[in-house]
A and B are shown apart, each in its own frame.
Chain A
Amino acid sequence: MLTKRVIPCLDVRAGRVTKGVKFKNNVDLGDPVEMAVAYSTGGADELVFYDITASAEGRPIDIGMVEAVARAVRIPFAVGGGIATVDDMERVILAGAEKISVNSLAVRHPSIIAKGAAAFGRQCVVLGMDPVRSARCPSGYEITTRGFRDFTGMDAVEWAKRAADLGAGEIVVNSVDADGMRTGFELEITRLIAEAVDVPVVASGGAGRPEHLVEVFQKASADAAIVAGMIHSGDFTIAEIKNAMHAAGIPTRMSY
């Protein structure tokens, strides 16, 4: 049986992993390659890296870091941030990443999804989205961009369906309301999107305790879940998360 994936997220700023709340108050957590190795041998099913300052600084993603991670770990990883063109995607893939995550760029230029899928296969193209609760949209959730700064008026569920039609192979639903709060995933929007699209859905934002992952898999039909602060802080290990999932009867990869 296909297992549910636990995916540590590493936000990289100037070559160091950092963590903030709602993109603010970032603190230094360590070296990305060392952390990637520790998490991959500690039970992570995949990893995701966001070069969080690349877009804002208008520079390309740090390819040297992608290459170093690819040499050091033997599990799949995705990279996002600082991707502007299909050529950027290609450089990230040739450096050894399995997937590229696009977010604000895809809102501005949805065709990048189709172009990336045509060039590399849809399994390489991940759509990241940052929905926030909003009465303006039919589903009750609106897409924001640029690190939650801009409201787009786009309905989150409609955008997810369109992105899947365009060729996104996976969708990461990162709740703005829950991000960094460690009070649990935003179950409603995760479930709405998981039920609306045929591609896998990754829940993101809000994981604070192992039970939160159990909950998002059992109640929101997520295929994978992203964890950050709860493991970066040392409060929990991936093994503890997986033990809780396994104990709850969720298919979980327990040998690593």
Chain B
Amino acid sequence: MLAIVDYRAGNLTSVRNAFSALGAEALVTRSPAAVAAAERVVFPGVGAAASAMANLRELGLLEAVRASALSGRPFLGICLGMQILFEHSEEDGGVDTLGVLSGRVRRFPHAPGCKIPEIGWNQVEGMEDAGVPAGGEFYFVHSYYAEKSPDTWGVTEYAGIEFTASVRRGNLVATQFHPEKSGRIGLDFLSWFLSL
């Protein structure tokens, strides 16, 4: 069973629709037990890091999500769901996050001609082992980025910074970009995740 974690961090319809298009019906759940029991877990997220952490605590999901990410079973974090797997985010004046991955999340600096948020399709390098062509373009929407770290997998450049576009440690994968909104290349990536 595929579980999508619902912790009041944005719209999950697109993620569910994308898996549905691949024939994978997902359970959207707030139940820690359902997350713990799921064969694979998708951890999306849009919004701010501090409120996401607060919601996880309030719903009693924090330990279930952390345990699931560390379980060795397939786990996919998306956007904010990737960022809060790291140790710390600069967002909201600084917030400690799940610490599943070592590394920090920072705000994009102001750079000439580079608007914040970064909105749109940008090239990702380094994910050829998942069938992603070199320089394949995915859809990004974010004002904060994860610094490169030991688990960095795909990398992307914006505002003069090369940042973590995705991470992978075995079956634990996470993306800054939105595969569910990245057209055919995004569906191919989600299909690869379902094959893990």
Contact = CB atoms under 8 A, between A and B. Distances in A.
A1 B157 contact: yes
Nearest to B140: A2
A255 B13 contact: no
A246 interface: no
Interface string A21-48: 0000000000000000000110001000
Contacts of B136: 255
A3 B187 CA distance: 20
Interface in B43-99: 46-48
Contact of A3 (B46, B121, B141, B142): B121
Contacts of A70: 13-14, 17
A198 interface: yes
Interface residues of A, number: 36
Interface string B154-171: 000110000000000000
Given A40-B183, A76-B181, A3 B10 contact: no
A253 interface: yes
B31 interface: no
A223 B114 CA distance: 9
B117 A74 contact: no
Contact of A123 (B17, B113, B123, B141): B141
A122 B47 CA distance: 8
Contact of B48 (A98, A121, A170, A201): A121
Interface residues of B, number: 42
A199 B119 CA distance: 9
Contacts of A204: none
Contacts of B36: none
Contact of B115 (A41, A198, A256): A198
A94 B119 contact: no
Interface string A54-94: 00000000000001001100111000000000000000011
Contacts of A124: 46
Nearest to A123: B141
Contact of A1 (B17, B123, B183): B123
Interface in B105-125: 110, 113-123
Interface of B: 10-11, 13-14, 17-18, 20-21, 46-48, 110, 113-123, 133, 136-137, 139-143, 157-158, 178, 180-187
Interface of A: 1-5, 40-41, 45, 67, 70-71, 74-76, 93-96, 98, 120-124, 169-170, 198-201, 221, 223-224, 253, 255-256
